Structure 1
Amino acid sequence: MTEVSAATPTLVEADTSGLKVRSRDGDNLGHIKAFMVDKRSGQSTFAVLSLGGFLGFNKSFYPVPFDVLAYDAAGDDYIVTIDRRVLEGGPSWANNAPEFNQAYADRVSSYYGTAPTQIG
């Protein structure tokens, strides 16, 4: 087995089929663009939410730890368990995704008050 070097990203983005995301009040927020999966464990550590926009323009992307999502099997969608205003004030991007390294993962976890996720 080959060791992954410290410079090699250990998270890989796994595109989804656009699973829907709702607020805890039932409002449609958007969809999950991707899961961030740890290459070593195979565990999804973050979900990247795609919110807003029209016809593919002006979308914003919000990485969130899985701790702030709940899966609703009946609706086959995810529910954001925090207030929408907290979500919309969190780390995000519109055009250029940041490098999802340990520092960025720590920033996201810290914002949402979840346990830091060790990547790598």
Structure 2
Amino acid sequence: MAQTDTTARTDAPGVMTGKPLIESDRVEGTAVYDPQGNHLGSIKRLMIEKISGKVAYAVMSFGGFLGMGEDEHTIPWSKLTYDTSLGGYRTDITEEQLRGAPAFYRDRDDYDWSDRERERELHDYWRAPYYWPI
């Protein structure tokens, strides 16, 4: 997905340039790349914490062809960094880690986002800090 750079950039430590905000529909569909710059998948939706308004997760689609047979994985937002040279998000997550990751089941009744233990397991799998106070 081609997209103009509407995110903030840091040109020097602590100095932000560019636009600091982006519309959610511009994030959806944006490519995600591994540490070597290989395409892993794309952002399907964002999960936003209701009270704070902070993005907690990106749900990433992975694999499949033309939207068929693809898996969805919930990635802590802290694992993604926008890379202006790629026009997408870079992550330290590998394809191998995605293949073994817990899948996101939007249509299953047993995926309970109010279950903090399941969120802990997700963050622990990705080795990401929790977005909530401990």
TM-superposed deviation, 1:59: 0.7
Larger Rg: 2
* RMSD of Structure 2 on Structure 1 (CA): 2.2
**Aligned equivalents of 1:39 and 1:95: distance in 2?**
18
TM-superposed deviation, 1:67: 2.5
CA-to-partner distance for each residue in 1:7-52, whole Å, 9 max, x for gaps? Answer: xxxxxxx765301111111111110001110111110011111001
8 Å CA contact 1:19, 1:78 repeated in 2: yes
> Aligned to 1:58, which of 63, 69, 85?
69
8 Å CA contact 1:106, 1:117 repeated in 2: no
TM-superposed deviation, 1:58: 0.6
Q: How does 1:14-93 map to 2 (within 5 A)?
A: 16-93=27-104
Q: 1:91 to 1:63 in 2, by over 3 A?
A: same
**Aligned equivalents of 1:81 and 1:28: distance in 2?**
12
Residue of structure 1 equivalent to 2:4: none
Larger fraction in strand: 1
Q: Which runs of 5+ in 2 are unaligned?
A: 1-23
Query: Counterpart of 2:121 in 1: which secondary structure?
Result: helix
Normalising by structure 1, what TM-score? 0.74
Which one has more relative contact order, counting CA pairs under 8 Å at least 6 apart?
Answer: 1
8 Å CA contact 1:48, 1:64 repeated in 2: yes
**Aligned equivalents of 1:95 and 1:67: distance in 2?**
21
TM-superposed deviation, 1:55: 2.2
8 Å CA contact 2:74, 2:104 repeated in 1: no
Q: Which runs of 5+ in 1 are unaligned?
A: 1-13
Residue of structure 2 equivalent to 1:99: 112
Normalising by structure 2, what TM-score? 0.67
